[in-house]
């Protein structure tokens, strides 16, 4: 396949009249200053990998925005989430995940890293295929074409004190042996997907796994390792009481952190923890919309970047699936805190450009996916913004990214390819209608079953 872009964002900067040749899903050749040949687009960007999602939570988006007794917090939200997931069947999860993936593609993501912890039947027993639910996520990826990095989650206890999982949490439980079997079964499901699909592991959090399990599970993969870390103050207090160290300090001392690791949230860090963690090469998995929705706090992005830290964005609870909104929420959180503008802009490029470059690189690293730039050898994860949209009219270079990030919505994506697969055309995912129809029927069924 040949694409010709009037302007394109390459690793060395903006270039004009760029021809991109794609072979077997990968970018084979990038030629600036080429004569028009193949399909033409006005502008071409690297599409991003979403580094953190719990797909099923999309089905309860916006259903926990009323006050309950006392002060509403992350923890009251979590209790409602558990009641909801008590009812989800494997077909429900597949239908919800497909809808989520459609929306992600239309928002500008070419791939998703699914932090997958809903494994078992409602009574906590394993399905006949231990990776039944993982298979449903893989099936949604196959149907939608969105690139998938699947991270089965190990979740073995209810807190640092070792209490058992109860209620809805029983669906998450695995001991290390059961987890190893599930990982193996999951890898069989992934073999049915195109070769850009990847597998990693996710120890849920320091609350939910023992240090011994964490060490053992990290040995089970050569792929990415993701873990929630330091999202909430109550989590910091619990880990401090149990181990004598704050979560990030504990992780720095005890874990072989490096570029294969992605630590999700990292909201509650001291300046020293921020500098030391950034220096490990681990990716900070930021989910600014969800973190705002859940009242987590503000990530220290200026300190993280000053330490050379890698980062990317994820949609986490999927309360809203908007790549532009994730990026601008991150920037705005820093502006509101510092009472300043253009806080995250690098010296030689605009804020939108800086955010795009860094989130593309960090997202790809966290996903274990050879992507994140328009360069030979990488998967052809590409996005053509809708340059006919009034908000992008007449823009060139960095102005396009500033318009995309700060002035628009998901509707600014015209076309999107994931590893060369054409997923979005004229702003719409190619299977949008049939998948939305099934999602509506699924939600109606869930309501009937309550
Ligand atoms: Zn999460």
Between the alpha carbon of residue 439 and those of residues 80, 154, 221, 244, 435, the distances in Å are 21, 28, 33, 46, 6
Q: What is the mean pLDDT of residues 392-420?
A: 95
pLDDT the model gives residue 156: 96
Q: What is the mean pLDDT of residues 427-444?
A: 96
Confidence of residue 79 (pLDDT cuts 50, 70, 90): confident
Q: Report d(CA 230, CA 300) in Å as an integer.
A: 12
pLDDT the model gives residue 87: 86
Between the alpha carbon of residue 432 and those of residues 92, 105, 106, 316, the distances in Å are 17, 10, 10, 21
Q: Give a yes or no: residue 254 inside a domain.
A: yes
- Residue 59 in this model has a pLDDT that exceeds 90: no
Q: How far apart are the CA of 150 and the centre of ligand 1, in A?
A: 14
Which of the residues 316, 357, 386, 402 is marked catalytic? 316
Q: Give a yes or no: residue 194 inside a domain.
A: yes
Mean of per-residue pLDDT scores for the chain: 95
Rounded to two decimals, the pTM is: 0.96
Q: Give a yes or no: residue 365 inside a domain.
A: yes
Confidence of residue 408 (pLDDT cuts 50, 70, 90): confident
Q: Tell me how crowded residue 303 is: count the other CB atoms within 10 A of its CB.
A: 17
202-220, pLDDT tens digit by residue?
A: 999 999 999 999 999 999 9
103-151, pLDDT tens digit by residue?
A: 999 999 999 999 999 999 999 999 999 999 999 999 999 999 999 999 9
Q: What percent of the chain has pLDDT over 90?
A: 90
Q: Give a yes or no: residue 363 inside a domain.
A: yes
352-401, pLDDT tens digit by residue?
A: 999 999 999 999 999 999 999 999 999 999 999 999 999 999 999 999 99
**For residue 261, what is the domain's CATH number?**
3.20.20.140
- Residue 63 in this model has a pLDDT that exceeds 80: no
Q: What is the mean pLDDT of residues 90-114?
A: 98
Q: Which helix (H) or strand (E) holds 285?
A: strand 283-286
Q: What is the mean pLDDT of residues 335-339?
A: 97
Which of the residues 54, 228, 265, 429 is marked catalytic? 265
Q: What is the mean pLDDT of residues 24-53?
A: 98
pLDDT the model gives residue 69: 66
Concerning whether 265 is annotated as a catalytic residue, the answer is yes
For 420, phi then psi, to 5°, come to: 80, -10
Q: How far apart are the CA of 75 and the centre of ligand 1, in A?
A: 13
How deeply is 222 buried, as exposed, middle or buried, from its count of CB atoms within 10 A (0-12, 13-18, 19+)? exposed
Q: How far apart are the CA of 316 and the centre of ligand 1, in A?
A: 5
176-190, pLDDT tens digit by residue?
A: 999 999 999 999 999
CB distance 286 to 372 below 8 Å: no
Between the alpha carbon of residue 218 and those of residues 44, 153, 227, 317, 349, the distances in Å are 37, 12, 11, 24, 37
Token code pair at residue 251: 């992780």
Concerning whether 123 is annotated as a catalytic residue, the answer is no
- Residue 76 in this model has a pLDDT that exceeds 80: no
From 188, 220, 186, select the one nearest 201 (Cα to Cα).
220
Q: What is the mean pLDDT of residues 32-47?
A: 97
How many domains in the chain? 1
Q: What is the mean pLDDT of residues 8-12?
A: 97
Q: Give a yes or no: residue 388 inside a domain.
A: no
- What is residue 289's DSSP assignment? H
Q: Give a yes or no: residue 282 inside a domain.
A: yes
Q: Give a yes or no: residue 447 inside a domain.
A: no
- Residue 450 in this model has a pLDDT that exceeds 60: no
Q: Give a yes or no: residue 407 inside a domain.
A: no
Q: Structural domain of residue 179, as residue ranges? A: 48-371
Q: How far apart are the CA of 337 and the centre of ligand 1, in A?
A: 24
Q: Report d(CA 10, CA 357) in Å as an integer.
A: 10
Q: How far apart are the CA of 281 and the centre of ligand 1, in A?
A: 20
């Amino acid at each position: 396949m040949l694409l010709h872009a009037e302007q394109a964002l390459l690793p060395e900067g903006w270039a004009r009249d760029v021809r991109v040749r794609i072979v077997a899903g990968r970018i084979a050749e990038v030629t600036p200053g080429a004569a028009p040949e193949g399909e033409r687009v006005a502008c071409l960007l690297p599409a991003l990998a979403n580094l953190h999602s719990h797909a099923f939570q999309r089905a309860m988006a916006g259903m926990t925005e009323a006050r309950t007794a006392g002060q509403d917090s992350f923890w009251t939200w979590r209790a409602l989430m558990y009641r909801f997931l008590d009812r989800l069947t494997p077909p429900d999860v597949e239908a919800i995940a497909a809808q989520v993936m459609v929306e992600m593609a239309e928002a500008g993501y070419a791939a998703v890293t699914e932090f997958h912890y809903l494994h078992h039947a409602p009574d906590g027993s394993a399905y006949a295929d231990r990776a039944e639910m993982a298979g449903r996520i893989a099936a949604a990826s196959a149907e939608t074409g969105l690139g998938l990095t699947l991270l089965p989650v190990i979740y073995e206890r209810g807190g640092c004190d070792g209490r058992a999982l109860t209620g809805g949490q029983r669906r998450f439980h695995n001991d290390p042996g059961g987890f190893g079997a599930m990982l193996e079964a999951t890898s069989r499901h992934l073999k049915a997907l195109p070769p850009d699909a990847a597998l990693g592991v996710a120890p849920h959090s320091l609350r939910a796994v023992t240090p011994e399990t964490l060490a053992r599970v990290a040995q089970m993969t050569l792929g990415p390792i993701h873990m929630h870390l330091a999202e909430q103050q109550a989590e910091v207090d619990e880990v401090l009481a149990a181990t004598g160290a704050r979560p990030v300090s504990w992780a720095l001392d005890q874990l072989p952190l490096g570029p294969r690791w992605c630590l999700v949230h990292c909201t509650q860090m001291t300046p020293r923890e921020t500098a030391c963690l950034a220096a490990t090469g681990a990716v900070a998995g930021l989910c600014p919309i969800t973190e705002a929705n859940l009242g987590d706090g503000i990530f220290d992005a200026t300190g993280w970047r000053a330490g050379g830290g890698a980062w990317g964005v994820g949609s986490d609870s999927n309360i809203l699936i908007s790549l532009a909104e994730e990026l601008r929420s991150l920037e705005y959180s820093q502006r509101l805190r510092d009472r300043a503008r253009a806080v995250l802009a690098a010296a030689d490029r605009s804020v939108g450009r800086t955010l795009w470059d860094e989130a593309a690189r960090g997202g790809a690293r966290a996903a274990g996916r050879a992507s994140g730039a328009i360069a030979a050898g990488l998967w052809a994860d590409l996005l053509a913004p809708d340059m006919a949209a009034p908000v992008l009219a007449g823009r060139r270079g960095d102005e396009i990214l500033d318009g995309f990030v700060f002035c628009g919505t998901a509707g600014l994506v015209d076309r999107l390819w994931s590893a060369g697969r054409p997923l979005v055309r004229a702003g719409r995912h190619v299977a949008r209608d049939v998948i939305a129809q099934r999602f509506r029927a699924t939600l109606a069924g869930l309501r009937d079953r309550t």
